[in-house]
């Protein structure tokens, strides 16, 4: 964590947390219009077991 920069932390969180939200939000209008749809989010085992030098990813 000492070596991880704030911009790198922000980039990892944007990819792994913000983007699934943004993509789901983007498809909601289409799903509402068609009356159906499924969103599947896949996560990593890293969410349950942290790894050294991967604090942003594991978060």
Residue pLDDT, tens place only, 22-44: 999 999 999 999 999 999 988 88
| CB of 13 closer than 8 Å to CB of 56 | yes
Q: Please name the residue ranges forming H helices in the chain.
A: 6-13, 19-34, 55-58
Q: Residue 57 CB: number of other CB atoms within 10 A?
A: 15
Distance CA 59, CA 17 (A): 9
Predicted local confidence at residue 50, as pLDDT: 80
Handedness of CA 14, 15, 17, 18 (dihedral sign): positive
């Amino acid at each position: 964590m000492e070596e991880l920069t704030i911009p790198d932390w922000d980039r990892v969180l944007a990819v792994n947390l913000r983007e699934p939200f943004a993509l789901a939000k983007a498809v909601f209008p289409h799903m509402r219009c068609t009356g159906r749809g499924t969103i599947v989010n896949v996560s990593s085992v890293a969410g349950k077991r942290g790894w050294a030098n991967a604090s942003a990813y594991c978060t």
